[in-house]
Amino acid sequence: VSKVRIGIVGSRFQADCIAVSVKAMPEEMEVVAVASPTKGNAEAFARRHGIAGFYADYREMLRDPAIEMISITAPNRLHARIAIEAAAAGKHVVCEKPLCVTLEEADAMIDACAKAGVLLLYAEELFFAPKYVKAKQMADEGAFGRVHLVKQGEKHSGPHSDWFWDIEQSGGGALMDLGCHGIAFCWWFLGKQKIKSVYSQLSTQVNAHRTKADDEAITIIEFENGAMGMVESSWNRPGGMDDTIEVFGDKGQTYADMLMGNALPTYSEVGFGYAVEKASSTKGWTYPVFEEHWNYGFPQEMRHFARCVRGKETPISDGETGRVVMEAVYAAYASAGLGRKIMLPFRPKGIAKPIDLWKKPELAQAAL
Ligand SMILES: NC(=O)c1ccc[n+]([C@@H]2O[C@H](COP(=O)([O-])OP(=O)(O)OC[C@H]3O[C@@H](n4cnc5c(N)ncnc54)[C@H](O)[C@@H]3O)[C@@H](O)[C@H]2O)c1
């Protein structure tokens, strides 16, 4: 069977990650084109990654009959529009997190892909991160007895592109950007149970001068069987990216540190090229990672998606997953706005962006 032919929308941070990850799994798939609006960027990206096709307008790329699957690595506010147009063009869709900005968009994306008979795949790489997969395998074997608490934390010094800080373009802050991983992780780890309630404490601790968004978020999720998830999301941690989990049951526990825990404790007085995502320095004591993409699960995720397109595997992360996460994100912002936990289902209509539920608690109140 031939390789799945992929077109990437976007040419910067996550686009690079996807291109490298696809190349790591060459037997299943290949990137054949890239689209990005800034003059010269798509071409430079194509050169860098050895990709044949490049476009300034993704719509033009969607007309290429050779492309079977689109990977959306554009800013959040564009996910829904691009996904819906890709589906109409008959392309399978891989969408980066968060799925979109509003619940209505999530519904429209899921409907459009179902109608077109294409897959909507939600790129949550933590479902594929080898250390975290091992933790889940042990939990599923019963190693920890009944798991009653799952924690995930993702923290760094703040996003690399301006649009993340602009709530009109991102839809929310650290909770939306990083908390979406933790919400998805806890939900997946505990067997994709229904979420019963969400409580979130949000604040802007460090970056009020540059954003209206939350830069610090603590979110507590209650699941149907009574188990708890706790998600810590921060844009205020200097020293490089941090991603960790903790799992507790009545018969045991496990801890996994994806980055520092896979790194080489290193001391250098002169510094070196690269330690880890968002580390500002390589001098002194640092924690340089190796196989960074692999440890996150990006190549494995893209391989799974390509195999889903060929009918060899069934998606473990799809549009529905993205919508579950979006509903919890809505509930988390509403919770912070109202200072109380929010019971699910929670599907307020006509909310322009999740963070509005925190900034304008009357919107959250009206939705209860
Ligand atoms: N899974 C992860 O761990 C992870 C990591 C980083 C980013 N992401 C997600 O990926 C998405 C992109 O983030 P990023 O960090 O790559 O951002 P970025 O700012 O580095 O890149 C965004 C890209 O989108 C392009 N773009 C903007 N407008 C466009 C348009 N109209 N049509 C086509 N392309 C357009 C830009 O030119 C740029 O190439 C976001 O949704 C983000 O949340 C996921």
Beta carbon of 124 within 6 Å of any ligand 1 atom: no
Tell me the CA–centroid distance for residue 91 and ligand 1, in Å: 19
CA–centroid distance, 266 to ligand 1, in Å, is 31
pLDDT at 123 (0 to 100): 98
Q: Is 38 in the pocket of ligand 1 (CB under 6 A)?
A: yes
CB 353 within 8 A of CB 101: yes
Q: What is the dihedral of CA 338, 343, 345, 349, to 10 degrees?
A: -10
Cα 115 to chain centroid distance, Å, stands at 25
- Contact 247/182 with Cβ under 8 angstroms? no
Q: Is the CB of 12 under 6 A from ligand 1?
A: yes
Q: In the numeric block, which tokens belong to residue 228?
A: 């708890």
Pairing of strands 147-155, 120-123: unpaired
Which amino acid, 347? R
Partners of 56 in the β-ladder: none
Residues for the chain: how many in total? 368
Given 3-state DSSP classes, what are the helix, strand and coil percentages for the chain, each rounded to the nearest 5? 40, 25, 40
Q: Is 98 within 8 Å of 171 (Cβ atoms)?
A: yes
Distance (angstroms) between ligand 1 centre and the Cα of 145 equals 40
Protein residue whose Cα sits closest to atom 22 of ligand 1: 74
CA of 93 to the centre of ligand 1 (A): 15
Q: What does the alpha-carbon distance between residue 75 and residue 94 come to, in Å, rounded to a whole number?
A: 14
Instruction: Give the closest residue to 188 by CA, choosing from 150, 148, 162, 145.
Output: 150
For the chain, the first-to-last Cα distance in angstroms comes to: 51
Closest protein CA for atom 38 of ligand 1 = 10
Query: Given CA atoms 27, 28, 33, 34 in this order, what sign does their dihedral have?
Result: negative
Q: Does residue 192 come out as left (phi exceeding 0), alpha (psi in the -120 to 50 range) or beta?
A: left
- Ligand 1 within 6 A of CB of 121: no
**What is the full DSSP assignment across 68-104?**
-EEEE-S-GGGHHHHHHHHHHTT-EEEEESS--SSHH
Best CA proximity match to 105, nearest among 127, 124, 87:
87
Residue of 8, 13, 242 to mutate, ligand 1, most atoms within 8 A of C-beta: 13
Q: Is the CB of 240 under 6 A from ligand 1?
A: no
What's at 344, amino acid-wise? Answer: L
Find out whether the peptide bond into 98 is cis, omega within 30 degrees of 0.
yes
Residue nearest atom 11 of ligand 1, based on CA coordinates: 73
Cβ 97 under 6 angstroms from ligand 1: yes
Q: What torsion, rounded to 10 degrees, do the Cα atoms 32, 37, 39, 45 define?
A: -30
Walk along the chain (368 residues) in steps of 10 and give the mean pLDDT of each run: 94 98 97 97 98 98 98 98 98 98 98 98 98 98 98 98 98 98 98 98 98 98 98 97 98 98 97 96 96 97 98 98 98 98 98 98 96
Q: Whose CA is nearest to atom 10 of ligand 1?
A: 73
What separation in angstroms does the CA of 238 have from each of 159, 242, 244, 334? Answer: 12, 10, 16, 28
Q: What is the pLDDT of residue 277?
A: 95
Task: Give the model's pLDDT for residue 283.
Answer: 97
Core vs surface per residue 278-309: b (16+ CB within 10 A) or e: bbeebeeebbbbeebbbbbbbbbbbbbbbbbb
Name the closest-CA residue to atom 24, ligand 1.
74
Q: Going by CA atoms, what residue is nearest to atom 36 of ligand 1?
A: 10
